[in-house]
Amino acid sequence: MGRIVSIILLIGVLLASMGGGQPDNSREDTVIDYGESGMFSLEDRQEAVSLILARTGRWRSIEHLHTVRYGGDAASLEEKGFHGFDEVMVFFSDFKTVRNSPAAEGFSDDCEYTNWGWYLGRTEDGSWKLIGMGY
């Protein structure tokens, strides 16, 4: 009986050390950089980040979201008018995908993605919407 308990404990320790292949959707240790902006308030940038975190939180492909950072006013100005939005805000993120990434989400298995773009837009008197993402 003691041997069976030892084997079960060993299997548990091994699975815990491997992470079990499950993504960490908590995002507690994600580094958020709201940057500086002369165009958008901190509240605007916080709202944009909350939309990004909500989206990535639903992805089973992401093992760890390392960073989310504001792309700057210059990058945002370049995208003005994208999809007909009066204002466009650009963010970038870095993340790692899980070993067996779900094919439906389109990411390669066990890869580091850097500078993944997030494009958020709003029309006059509107709220921010995620309007595009990717490279």
Both tokens of residue 38?
């002369």
pLDDT at 83: 82
pLDDT at 134: 93
What's the average model confidence in pLDDT over 3-15? 41
pLDDT-based confidence at residue 6 (cuts at 50, 70, 90) = very low
- Measured between alpha carbons, how far is 59 from 103 in angstroms, rounded to an integer? 11
Q: What is the dihedral of CA 38, 41, 42, 44, to 10 degrees?
A: -130
What DSSP designation does 122 have? E
Rounded to two decimals, what is the model's pTM? Answer: 0.77
Q: pLDDT of 14-52, one tens digit each?
A: 333 334 344 444 567 899 999 999 999 999 999 999 999
pLDDT at 15: 36
pLDDT at 3: 56
Q: Which residue, 52, 54, 45, is CA-closest to 88?
A: 45
pLDDT-based confidence at residue 113 (cuts at 50, 70, 90) = very high
Q: pLDDT of 54-83, one tens digit each?
A: 999 999 899 999 999 999 999 999 998 888
Ordered by start, the domain boundaries in the chain are 23-134
